[in-house]
């Protein structure tokens, strides 16, 4: 990997900017557009921003190696200034397959966005959202009264999904989590684990009275009438990790965190 053209990107936070200055003279960095590999400095949020920017702007997609200058750093490696060439040579790749969200608004506008962690639908007002849930063209819940609902990938299952009491999905499980947010009716429904080939459609009932927004990771579409969600295998992403990082083990151990 030492011969690959590398780009260096950093979060605007002071720690990440300081680290970027330390690495500025370590390697001959190129632009993101010309790179074979991207080194990202920041936290998990900045990693998601970097991956989304790559999904939107360039082909082919290139591997990303992150170093944590944020808080949790779940998707990042430890920050070290020295030994970058050796670390990159020993990395293990991990594939992330994003979701594709196609949202139709009440005005008929159609917006398609990728989501690496989750797609969530959320009520916009004090009125409870009412949703019809369809799986592979079959209506499985004619009416779900709730604050919202989300679809999470394994990589995102420890994020918003876990906070909403959804299941943690092991990496490589080829599953998606369908998790309600504060469900009111039906009271006993707590969500579902679905194969990742599933096609999920969520239709908003009474959208004028009970408006709902759709969010693909951090990007929001307001006043949606219908949202279709499926895996986008054509845009597979690659994250690089140090051998000792063991992302799959970290995800498993999140189930036992206090």
Residues contributing to the annotated binding site: 44-45, 117-118, 147, 155, 158-163
Whether the Cβ atoms of residue 89 and residue 2 lie closer than 8 Å to each other? yes
Q: Which residue has the tokens 């999470």?
A: 152
Distances (CA, A) of 141 to 119, 132, 201: 18, 6, 11
Query: At CA 113, angle to CA 109 and CA 116, rounded to 5?
Result: 155
Q: Residue 123: beta bridge partners?
A: 212
The number of CA neighbours under 13 Å toward the Cβ of 119 is 26
Structural element, H or E, at residue 65: strand 64-68
Name residues whose C-beta falls within 8 Å of residue 129's C-beta, 6 or more positions apart in sequence: 121, 122, 123, 145, 146, 147, 148, 204, 210, 212
Task: Show binding-site residues for NAD(+).
Answer: 44-45, 117-118, 147, 155, 158-163
Query: Which residue out of 25, 34, 36, 44 is catalytically annotated?
Result: 44
Q: Is 44 a catalytic residue?
A: yes
Distance from C-alpha of 56 to C-alpha of 132, rounded to nearest angstrom: 30
Torsion region of 59: left, alpha or beta (phi above 0 gives left; psi -120 to 50 gives alpha): beta
The residues annotated as belonging to the active site are 44
């Amino acid at each position: 990997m030492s011969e690959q053209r590398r780009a260096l990107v950093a979060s605007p936070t002071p720690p990440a900017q300081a680290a970027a200055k330390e690495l500025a003279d370590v390697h001959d960095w190129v632009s993101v557009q010309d790179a074979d590999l991207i080194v990202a400095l920041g936290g998990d949020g900045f990693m998601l921003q970097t991956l989304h920017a790559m999904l939107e702007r360039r082909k082919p997609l290139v591997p990303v190696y992150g170093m944590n200058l944020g808080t949790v750093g779940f998707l990042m490696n430890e920050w070290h200034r020295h030994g970058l060439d050796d670390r990159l040579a020993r990395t293990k790749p991990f594939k992330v397959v994003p979701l594709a969200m196609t949202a139709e608004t009440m005005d008929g506008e159609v917006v398609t966005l990728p989501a690496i962690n989750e797609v969530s639908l959320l009520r916009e007002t004090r009125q409870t959202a009412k949703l019809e849930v369809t799986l592979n063209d079959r209506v499985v819940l004619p009416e779900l009264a709730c604050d919202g609902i989300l679809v999470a990938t394994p990589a995102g299952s420890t994020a918003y999904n876990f906070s909403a009491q959804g299941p943690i999905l092991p990496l490589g499980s080829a599953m998606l989590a369908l998790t309600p947010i504060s469900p009111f009716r039906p009271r006993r429904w707590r969500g579902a684990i679905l194969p990742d080939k599933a096609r999920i459609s969520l239709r908003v009932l009474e959208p004028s009275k009970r408006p709902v927004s759709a969010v693909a990771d951090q990007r929001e579409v307001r006043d949606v009438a219908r949202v279709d969600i499926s895996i986008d295998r054509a845009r597979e992403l690659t994250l690089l990790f140090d051998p000792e990082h063991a992302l799959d083990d970290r995800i498993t151990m999140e189930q036992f965190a206090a």
